[in-house]
Amino acid sequence: MQPLQSVSGRYGPYGGRYVAETLMPALDELTEAFEEARRDPAFQAELDSLLHQYAGRETPTYFASRLSKELGTRIWLKREDLCHTGAHKVNNTIGQILLAKRMNKTRIIAETGAGQHGVATATACALMGLPCEVFMGAEDVRRQAPNVQRMKLLGAKVHSITSGSATLKDAMNEALRDWVTNVRTTHYCVGSVAGPHPYPMIVGYFQAIIGCESRAQMLAQAGKLPDAVVACVGGGSNAMGIFAGFIKDEAVRLIGVEAAGDGIATGRHAAPLCAGAVGVLHGAKSYVLQTEDGQIVEAHSVSAGLDYPGVGPEHAWLRDTGRATYTAVTDDAALDAFQQLCRTEGIIPALETSHAFAYLPTLAKELGPDADILVCLSGRGDKDLETVIEELAERG
């Protein structure tokens, strides 16, 4: 199998750079700065120190005994919800804002869906003293209000975007429009393993720490590698992060769980890997939700962080090569899994993360009692309480 960490920006036929000419030199500059930084011991030392002392790494891998008993298998949780700001997103933003400082950029922009990446960007900007503007769909501003308040407290300016579906896709459109205008002074801090090269490579690199740590932790605590690794996939950064640790261990199954929304058959979902087609959105070739005429279709998911019609290009390649498999679970299943984790383990997961948990009953049945399943618990669910209470009330 060829190395997946692409330097050319291609993962098989996927990835690339489909952007306006104005942005091409900035992407070259960013690629160069990243390659230099990753070879620079001083950069690595500063990154490691911030991840450890500020963000709280390493995060534990925890054996979930009550959930394991209920599901009839052995479940291990990589606790990214315990990172500072409550999700894995901060691994990437600390890295990218350090990089932005290195490039002498004086202003940071970001898109956000659930608000976790927005909060993590605003946090890193506050930490390093850079002004930050976050683009967020108006629909997401409504359903993720606590994170909007958090970003504002952290000193970020939040732009509420009303165009299109008023969700993550439209926030990313607007961030790209800002970047094309202010590209000389501004770093665009992309939050997932999506976007034009080098973003999938950079975000994948900063998130690979999840897989790197959890592989060592499984060996130490379980005495073996897991049989399967499960993560939710929107753009796919937490999944890519944890998969990275196990890609070379071919016996370890890698499973990504997309959002099936109201159900794949209804067409109201956010599952491009399961039910999309190859296309180009936001600078990269990958699977996207689109019409037969190549217009992008709005995604639907109860989870704002998964409510996106595209997915990172490396996932597209992992799907095609069969190294990872992708499935999807509905809003209802995710809400059930959300409650189950609260009840059995005393952990309130993010709605995004709940999608990974919703696939566990199926997988547990398949693998049986003598299996070890590692789940990326990508974020905590405090931000989702209002949505969950509303949704549960609607369902009676």
Partner 1 sequence: MGRIAAAFENARNENRATLVIYLCAGDPDLDATVELAVAAAESGADVIELGVPFSDPTADGPAIQRAAERSLRGGTTLAKVLDTVRSIRRRTEVPILLFGYYNPILVYGEQKLVDDAADSGADGFLVVNLPPEESAGLREPAIARGLDFVPLVAPTSDPRRIKQAGEMATSFIYYVSMTGVTGSAASDLASAAQRASALQRELGRPLAIGFGVKTKADVATVSPQVEGVVVGSAVVQAIEAAPSTEAAVTAVRALVSDLAGGLSRR
Q: Taking the CB of residue 138, how many other CB atoms lie within 10 A of it?
A: 16
| Residue 179 or 338 with smaller CB distance to partner 1 | 179
Count residues near partner 1 (CB under 8 A): 37
Q: Choose one: 16-24, 151-159, 235-243, 315-323; the region binding partner 1 (CB under 8 A).
A: 16-24
Residue 143 touching partner 1 (CB under 8 A): no
Q: Is 163 in the site for partner 1 (CB under 8 A)?
A: yes
Question: Binding partner 1 by CB under 8 A: which of 5, 7, 13, 24?
Answer: 24
Residue 140: CB minimum distance to partner 1, A: 17
- Hey, which residues are catalytic here? 89, 111, 378
Distance between CA atoms of 303 and 333, rounded to whole angstroms?
12
User: Which member of 71, 281, 316, 334 binds partner 1 (CB under 8 A)?
Assistant: 281
From candidates 282, 319, 355, 383, binder to partner 1 by CB under 8 A = 282
Query: Is residue 162 involved in binding partner 1 (CB under 8 A)?
Result: no
220: Cα separation from own chain's centroid: 26
With CB under 8 A as the contact rule, the residue among 3, 39, 295, 346 that binds partner 1 is 295
- Which of 4, 11, 26, 156 forms a contact with partner 1 (CB under 8 A)? 26
Beta bridge pairs of residue 288: 277
Stretch in the footprint of partner 1 (CB under 8 A) among 114-122, 251-259, 285-293, 356-364: 285-293
Q: How far is the CB of 98 from partner 1 (least distance, A)?
A: 24
Nearest to 186 by CA among 195, 177, 194: 177
Is residue 84 within 8 A of residue 90, CB to CB? The reply is: yes
Is residue 370 within the footprint of partner 1 (CB under 8 A)?
no
> Nearest distance from residue 277's CB to partner 1, in Å?
8
172-231: contacts with partner 1 (CB under 8 A): 173, 176-177, 180-184
Of 277, 103, 318, 95, the C-alpha closest to 191 is: 95
For the beta sheet containing 157-161, the strands, ordered from the edge strand earlier in sequence to the opposite edge, are 157-161, 132-137, 107-112, 186-188
Which helix (H) or strand (E) segment holds residue 109: the answer is: strand 107-112
User: DSSP H helical segments within the chain, as ranges?
Assistant: 24-39, 41-53, 65-71, 89-102, 116-128, 138-143, 145-153, 168-182, 199-221, 237-244, 272-275, 313-321, 331-345, 351-358, 360-367, 385-395
Q: Does 164 sit near partner 1 (CB under 8 A)?
A: yes
Cα dihedral 354/358/359/361 (nearest 10): 140
Site residues for partner 1 per CB under 8 A? 16-26, 163-164, 169, 173, 176-177, 180-184, 277-283, 285, 288, 290, 292-296
